[in-house]
Structure 1
Amino acid sequence: MLTLHNLTYLHPNRELLLDDLYLTVNKHEKIALVGNNGSGKSTLLRIIAGELQPAAGQVKTGSLPYLVPQIFGQYNHLTIAGALRVDRRLHALQEILTGNVSEENLALLNDDWTIEERIDQALHHWQLPDLDLSQKLGTLSGGQKTKVFLAGITIHQPELILLDEPSNHLDSAGRQLLYDFIKNTGKTLVVVSHDRQLLQLVNLVCELDKGGISVYGGNYDFYLQQKESEREALNRDIQNREKALRKAEEKERETSERQQKLDARGRKKQEKAGVARIMINTLRNNAENSTSRLKSVDTEKIEGISQELNELRSARPDLDRMKFGFDHAALHKGKVLFAATEVNAGYGAPLWKENLTFQITSGERIAIRGTNGSGKTTLLRIILGTAEPLTGTVFRAESRTVYIDQDYSLINPCLNVYAQAQHVNTSALQEHEVKVRLSRFLFTKDDWDKPCHALSGGEKMRLALCCLTISSEAPDMIVLDEPTNNLDLQNIEILTAAIHEYRGTLLVVSHDEVFLRQVEADRILSLSPR
């Protein structure tokens, strides 16, 4: 169904992104393509779809692929019919029905007399009833845009389907529809996703990195088991190399000390025997040359082991190389930070079916859930004090709250990495201390001058977490708004580990069920719109 042979791709600036890739996907297989942000997953899907041309190699497909793209506003200018690729066919049908039965219109329609019914059925299935097909895609929410492209699968019935982060903007109900489709379809699927619930539904996981594509049989759980085995093997290799380095350094030290003792003993004997000074100097030079040769051999061995050790350490996953160092929140557990009494929101009319009465106490971990459009972000703004309710009363205790949204907008795009860290340095850390904190979050010397607007989602997340450790006080409450949407699997793991280490109040909006379980949300606040 799909074969990649010797596939290579260069960026327009001639920078190498994909090099000599090989992959075979059999008919009816469902595979996931995973890898760090920037590894080229989305680019590879676009090459398979025919939207980009490789610099070398071949892509062979048994049928025309259908791509559900990652949504970030690039299709806003299209109509819904244009995004579904049915606009010309629908126009031809309308022309024919009004009497313009031309050969061109008949060719465009291609005997597809049920196209309107199939579009209606597809949009209804994906929870998009009553859409105007001439409406611009830019007027829809992110979740609705994704559903439009998913509806195209139902309309066109392709045999090879490419899905690029399809669950990113979907709420829980939309995700369940997607999961059901993936579980039940007999089509061939290639899925790029960091949604771990979705990844359990595939039968093959392929990891893309600089070394090529590594194939792991089984679903995501099996992939994790294999990665853990690799991690354990790597840690054993690191420990063995560390042990070998200690032995080599110890041997070098012993050899040097032994040689020094032999040289000293030899000099004393020579002086007692009355050996001429010129001969003593010659013997001393010979001894020093011998010592230098021995030391050179030991030094070369140590340098070789050190280089191997550095290479092994650099191959460790980012999480294994990170140190968080979060301070605990200063507030005592159980203090009321926020209270809402009969609260509702909206513009003229109430947003929620029922008024909300609840409170947030220090130390709690609360998940806010609801469908797209249910007012989750509105509620967050009320809690944060950037908006007031339409009805009801609220109480906000004086506390230090940090809001982290999916775009990590607390990072100033006009600053570089080091300047951003200094911007939050309210505890007057010395320059070298700030740089040590940056290094803990994997920002090396080469990264310090990097502009923040050029950072990936994962890098922004790490910098935001780093800033929390630099600031003078740990936040009393961290508010996370869809924090995993733009993160790869490794950075989700880093975020989850950081949240585990944080001891304070957590408020999180997320459709990622696995993330909510892992951060151990102990209370659910559900919103129901009118």
Structure 2
Amino acid sequence: MITLQHLTYTHTNTDLLFQNLNLTVNKQDKIAIVGNNGSGKSSLLKVITGKLKASEGHIRVDEQPYFIPQLFGQFNDFSIAQVLQVEGKINALQEILKGNTSEENFNALNDDWTIEERCKEALQHWQLTDLELSQKMKTLSGGQKTKVFLAGIFIHKPELILLDEPSNHLDFTSRQLLYEFIQTTKSTLIVVSHDKTLLGFMTTICELNKSGIKLYGGNYEFYKQQKLIEKNTLNQDLQNKEKALRKAKEKERETLERQQKQNSRGKKQQNKEGTPKAMRDKMKNDAEKSTSRLKSVHTEKIGGIAQDLMDLRSSLPDIDKIKFGFDNSALHIGKILFTATNINFAYNPSQFLWKNNLNIQITSGERIALKGQNGSGKTTFIKLLLGDLEPTTGTIYRVDNQSAYIDQDYSLLDNTLKVYEQVQQFNTTALEEHDIKTRLNRFLFGQEDWDKTCIALSGGERMRLMLCCLTIGKQAPDIIILDEPTNNLDIQNIDILTAAINEYQGTLIVVSHDEIFLESINIKRTIAFTI
């Protein structure tokens, strides 16, 4: 169905994304593509669809792909009917029903008399019952836009479907519908995703990087096991190479000491026997040359081992290189931080947000998930918690605390600042320049990154910079609030975030539909919102 041979793609800014990529996709395959942010996953899907042209190589696609992109901004001025690619048929059907029975209308409809009914059923399946086909996409939420594209699958029944991060903006119920579709469909799927639950339903995981693509013949659990084996092998190779380097240095030291002793004994013997000066000079020169040759041989051997060791260390996953160093919150465990008594909020004076008033208490050290469908008031509650809003009815008690609200776009970062300048904004303890740069290195920001502007950073880089900022201050925040933190992160950066959160000892409040992520960060309590 799809054949990629020696495929290379270079971005317009001349950055090489991937090269010499070979992949065969057969009918009814369910393939997931994973890889670090910036490895070219989305670009690969666009090359397959023909939206981008490969720099080198050959590509053959036997079926017309149905593509669901990750970003939808380019469709804001489109109607739902246009996005679903049914506008022509819908208009033709309406004209025919009005009595305009022109040949042009019949050709446009192409005997698809049930198109309107199928659109309605598809939208209903994805819980979009209140939408009109004429409605503009810019009026919809991110989750609704995703579901419009998913509805198109039910309308057109394509043989080949490409999905780029399809679960990103979906709430729990919609994710379940997506998972059910993926498990039951007979269509061929190629999915770019970091959603570990979704990846569990795929039959092959493909890991993409600059040098090509590596296939793992199983679902995400199998992939994870294989990566663990690879990691253990790498660690063993590292230990062996470090041991070899120590032995080589020890061997060099012993050999040179032995040579120096021989040279010293020879010199004493020459002086004792009254060897002529010219002969002594020649023998001294020969000894120095011999020592130099020995040193050169050992230096070359040690250099080779050291280079191998450096190459192995560069292969370590980034999470194994990061040092977090979170300080503890100043608030003792169990202290009451927030109490809401019979609160509700109304954006419209005549309509409260929640059906029932809320009574909620939060104590220091808790790990809480906020759950509810899109529009159920989770973000409003966060603003009430932080003091950015006050309730329309009821009362709120808040203890003085230091809190950090980290939204999906990491808005605490100033896009106009450079990486080094941004960290300085959080440097409340007047750390010296070299200490700050050491911290940046711990979070994988090397010297080449310090002068980058924040706006140029990827989602994973912004997350790591935010974590660096939070750990560089005098004290960790008492409360960290994360709003859909995994949406724009690859698997590796989700693991980095998970490790950092698990090291944090303060109060954690998370909005997320990612059940595996919530489980991995030890969420102990759920607050559910209904409207």
TM-score (normalised: structure 1): 0.98
Q: Is the partner of 1:291 in helix, strand or coil?
A: helix
Q: Distance in 2 between matches of 1:286 and 1:485?
A: 69
For 1:514, the aligned partner's letter is I
Corresponding position: 1:224 with 2:224:
yes
Q: State the partner residue of 1:510.
A: 512
Q: Distance in 2 between matches of 1:88 and 1:466?
A: 52
* TM alignment of 1:409-448, pairs within 5 A: 409-448=411-450
For 2:69, the aligned partner's letter is P
Which of residues 358, 361, 372 in structure 2 aligns to 1:359? 361
For 2:452, the aligned partner's letter is K
Question: Residues 506-530 of structure 1, C-alpha deviation per residue, up to 9 Å, x if partnerless?
Answer: 111100100100001111000001x
Q: Distance in 2 between matches of 1:287 and 1:360?
A: 78
Shift in Å, 1:461: 0.5
Contact 1:32–1:192, Cα closer than 8 Å, also in 2? yes
Q: State the partner residue of 1:129.
A: 129
Corresponding position: 1:192 with 2:208:
no
* TM alignment of 1:114-125, pairs within 5 A: 114-125=114-125
Q: State the partner residue of 1:27.
A: 27
Q: State the partner residue of 1:10.
A: 10
* TM alignment of 1:87-486, pairs within 5 A: 87-347=87-347, 348=349, 349-486=351-488
Q: Distance in 1 between matches of 2:503 and 2:122?
A: 45
Cα 1:249/1:72, change in 2 over 3 Å: farther
Q: Distance in 1 between matches of 2:104 and 2:4?
A: 37
Which sits farther off after the overlay, 270-279 or 415-424?
Answer: 270-279
Shift in Å, 1:71: 2.6
Q: Distance in 1 between matches of 2:440 and 2:331?
A: 27
For 1:237, the aligned partner's letter is D
Q: State the partner residue of 1:75.
A: 75
Contact 1:438–1:466, Cα closer than 8 Å, also in 2? yes
Contact 2:72–2:145, Cα closer than 8 Å, also in 1? no
Shift in Å, 1:342: 0.7
For 2:393, the aligned partner's letter is T
Which sits farther off after the overlay, 456-465 or 87-96?
Answer: 87-96
Q: Distance in 2 between matches of 1:132 and 1:456?
A: 36
TM-score (normalised: structure 2): 0.98
Q: Distance in 1 between matches of 2:380 and 2:130?
A: 26
Shift in Å, 1:102: 3.0
Structure 2 residue ranges without an equivalent (≥5) = none
Contact 2:369–2:512, Cα closer than 8 Å, also in 1? yes
Contact 2:329–2:506, Cα closer than 8 Å, also in 1? yes
Structure 1 residue ranges without an equivalent (≥5) = none
Q: State the partner residue of 2:65.
A: 65
Q: State the partner residue of 1:496.
A: 498
Q: Distance in 2 between matches of 1:483 and 1:527?
A: 19
Contact 1:480–1:509, Cα closer than 8 Å, also in 2? yes
For 1:465, the aligned partner's letter is L
Q: Distance in 2 between matches of 1:72 and 1:329?
A: 40
Contact 2:18–2:211, Cα closer than 8 Å, also in 1? no
How many residue pairs get aligned? The number is 529
Which sits farther off after the overlay, 84-93 or 496-505?
Answer: 84-93
Cα 1:454/1:60, change in 2 over 3 Å: same
For 1:46, the aligned partner's letter is K
Q: Is the partner of 2:330 in helix, strand or coil?
A: coil
Q: Distance in 1 between matches of 2:346 and 2:264?
A: 90
For 1:312, the aligned partner's letter is L
Shift in Å, 1:469: 1.3
Shift in Å, 1:410: 0.8
Shift in Å, 1:257: 1.1
Contact 2:8–2:18, Cα closer than 8 Å, also in 1? yes
For 1:418, the aligned partner's letter is Y
Contact 2:118–2:155, Cα closer than 8 Å, also in 1? yes
Contact 2:33–2:41, Cα closer than 8 Å, also in 1? yes
Q: State the partner residue of 1:521.
A: 523
Q: Is the partner of 2:73 in helix, strand or coil?
A: coil
Question: Residues 113-141 of structure 1, C-alpha deviation per residue, up to 9 Å, x if partnerless?
Answer: 11101000000000001312111101100
Shift in Å, 1:432: 0.5
For 2:148, the aligned partner's letter is V
Percent identity (aligned): 62
Contact 2:143–2:169, Cα closer than 8 Å, also in 1? yes
Shift in Å, 1:97: 2.5
